[in-house]
Amino acid sequence: DARGRNPRRLGRYGLRPQVHGAFPGNRLELSVGPAGVFEFDNFSKGTKALLEAVAETTAAGNIGIIGGGDSATAAAKWNMEDKVTFVSTGGGASLELLEGKLLPGVAALDDKL
């Protein structure tokens, strides 16, 4: 980080991610990609905190999106799929769609309909 600390070692000191309420007033929260190796409990706190923040904003009436295969798997691990607006396994593709880009697969489907 900017202070020269090794981010891999921060967990040893009990530092936890502070994501709840980090973006007050947002009407959309988007999580694309896990914040750690969530498959191992010692490294899952950041990812779980991010997903909880997305679930909280959704519960407050905002739009909460979880994108990316690993993030979708993490959402399933903590039963959060039904607590957000949308879960997509396409991380980069989700971002491109939000940017307004036409995705080849979507274009092909549009041509068939």
Query: Smallest Cα–Cα separation from 54: which of 92, 88, 27?
Result: 27
State the pLDDT at residue 72.
Answer: 92
The CA distance from 90 to 49, in Å, is 21
Which residue numbers in the chain have pLDDT < 70? 1-30, 113
State the pLDDT at residue 46.
Answer: 85
Q: What's this model's pTM, rounded to 2 decimal places?
A: 0.66
State the pLDDT at residue 78.
Answer: 94
DSSP 40-85: SGGG-HHHHHHHHHHHHHHHTTSEEEEESHHHHHHHHHTT-GGGSS
State the pLDDT at residue 75.
Answer: 93
The CA distance from 110 to 95, in Å, is 19
Q: Is the dihedral of CA 81, 87, 91, 95 positive or negative?
A: negative
% of residues, the chain, pLDDT over 90:
14
